């Protein structure tokens, strides 16, 4: 595959990626935490909320918000990652058990070039972009994060999806030894998410390997996660180990668990309330005041056309 010189990741960055991942995994501090009283024992893990190794040769990406980013400390310590626990601070305290190297992603399904692809090869020859994106969770809170990654569509096209590929399914690592939250049947593990193929190919969709110019912390989805900024945060699956191209719409984990609350599309439609709370207003982490929730999380100009003719009150 030919590519322009401007699209090639600097050799120094490629060769140092393993160093970056080792540094991120080693960015721990403090004493191991004891299990909570009354809970089954968890493997002891050190906090991993500290900054990882800075990434080199990152270029500004398109579509960035001009809003003030959420402080690093909050973005790396207030997380939804049920594989490490259901409380917001569980991932930053417990995700030290996750081993992010070596890491490979299986490419399967309706695609001409399937295979098990090392993360280094997935990144090879691609420019790392920084994009400041808003990311919103269904609990009516949101963050603004400078993500570092590669366009999802660019990565997917390299595997040559066939004409039968209508959807893309993503799967998180399943390993209860590394991810102690998977020992509890909060969800049907492993975690699965999906996008329509045109959503996946949209230039806003990002495969993130870093944030704030640093290697992605474990609790934020290391070493590779999805960021779909116009959708609710649960669509942005973390620690991806499989990407499968399908003819049929995948059954994503939260839709399987609570179909009355979590639809496949998960678009931000302020007119549709969650059954247990309103979606009309949101609160940025670190702010006290709430603000109106914007359609498609503020990205309507870019993505509304994807859903022309759909009833987004019913297909939520």
Q: Kind and range of the H or E element at 93?
A: helix 90-94
Residue 8 CB coordination number (10 Å): 13
CA distance 156 to 173: 19
DSSP state of 164: T
21-27: average pLDDT:
38
pLDDT at 272 over 90: no
For residue 43, the model assigns a pLDDT of: 33
Average pLDDT, the chain: 86
Instruction: Say if residue 109's pLDDT is above 60.
Output: yes
CB 47 within 8 A of CB 76: no
Over residues 75-92, the pLDDT tens digits come to 999 999 999 999 999 999
Element holding 157 (H helix, E strand): helix 152-157
pLDDT at residue 20, rounded to an integer: 40
User: What number is the average pLDDT over the span 238-245?
Assistant: 98
CA nearest to 231, candidates 269, 191, 276: 269
- pLDDT at residue 315, rounded to an integer: 83
- pLDDT computed for residue 42 by the predictor: 33
Q: State residue 18's pLDDT score.
A: 43
Q: Does residue 9 surpass a pLDDT of 80?
A: no
Q: Report residue 212 as tokens.
A: 């704030």
- Tell me the mean pLDDT in the region 9-22: 39
Residues 183-189: contacts with CB within 8 Å, 24+ apart?
A: 183/40, 186/82, 186/86, 187/82, 187/253, 187/254, 187/256, 187/257, 188/253, 188/256, 188/257, 189/83
CB-CB neighbours of 270 under 10 Å: 16
Confidence at residue 180, expressed as pLDDT on a 0 to 100 scale: 97
Alpha carbons within 13 A on the beta-carbon side of 95: 35
Question: Does residue 2 have a pLDDT over 60?
Answer: no
Q: Show the domains of the chain with their CATH numbers.
A: 5-307 (3.90.420.10)
Structural contact between residues 126 and 153, judged by C-beta atoms closer than 8 angstroms: no
* Mean pLDDT to the nearest integer, 193-211: 98
Q: 150-191 pLDDT, tens per residue?
A: 999 999 999 999 999 999 999 999 999 999 999 999 999 999
Average pLDDT for 18-25: 40
Distance, CA of 13 to CA of 256 (rounded, Å): 40
Share of the chain above pLDDT 90, in %: 72
**Contact (CB, 8 A) for 205 and 226:** yes
Cα–Cα dist 73/91, whole Å: 13
Section 241-259 average pLDDT? 96
**Residue 5 CB coordination number (10 Å):** 5
In the block, tokens 């609350």 appear at 261
pLDDT of residue 156: 98
Q: Please state whether 179 falls in left (phi above 0), alpha (psi between -120 and 50) or beta.
A: beta
């Amino acid at each position: 595959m030919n590519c322009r010189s401007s699209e090639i990741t600097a050799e120094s960055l490629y060769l140092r990626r393993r160093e970056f991942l080792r540094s991120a995994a080693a960015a721990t501090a403090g004493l191991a935490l004891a299990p909570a009283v009354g809970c089954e024992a968890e493997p002891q893990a050190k906090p991993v909320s500290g900054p990882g190794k800075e990434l080199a040769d990152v270029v500004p990406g398109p579509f960035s918000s001009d809003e003030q980013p959420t402080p690093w400390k909050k973005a790396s310590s207030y997380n939804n990652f049920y594989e490490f626990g259901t409380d917001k601070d569980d991932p930053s305290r417990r995700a030290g058990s996750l081993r992010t190297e070596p890491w490979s992603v299986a490419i399967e399904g309706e695609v001409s070039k399937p295979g098990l692809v090392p993360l280094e090869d997935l990144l090879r020859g691609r420019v790392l972009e920084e994009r400041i994106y808003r990311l919103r969770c269904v609990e009516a809170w949101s963050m603004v994060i400078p993500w570092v990654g590669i366009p999802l569509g660019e990565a997917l096209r390299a595997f040559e999806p066939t004409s039968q590929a209508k959807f893309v399914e993503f799967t998180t690592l399943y390993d209860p030894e590394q991810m102690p939250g998977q020992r509890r049947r909060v969800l049907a593990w492993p975690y699965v998410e999906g996008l329509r193929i045109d959503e996946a190919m949209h230039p806003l969709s990002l495969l993130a390997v870093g944030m704030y110019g640093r290697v992605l912390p474990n609790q934020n989805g290391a070493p590779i996660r999805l960021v779909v900024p116009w959708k609710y945060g649960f669509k942005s699956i973390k620690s991806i180990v499989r990407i499968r191209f399908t003819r049929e719409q995948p059954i994503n984990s939260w839709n399987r668990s609570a179909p009355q609350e979590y639809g496949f599309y998960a678009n931000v439609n302020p007119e549709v309330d969650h059954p247990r709370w309103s979606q009309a207003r949101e609160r940025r982490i670190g702010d006290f005041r709430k603000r109106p929730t914007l359609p498609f999380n503020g990205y309507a100009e870019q993505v509304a056309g994807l859903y022309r003719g759909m009833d987004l009150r019913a297909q939520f």
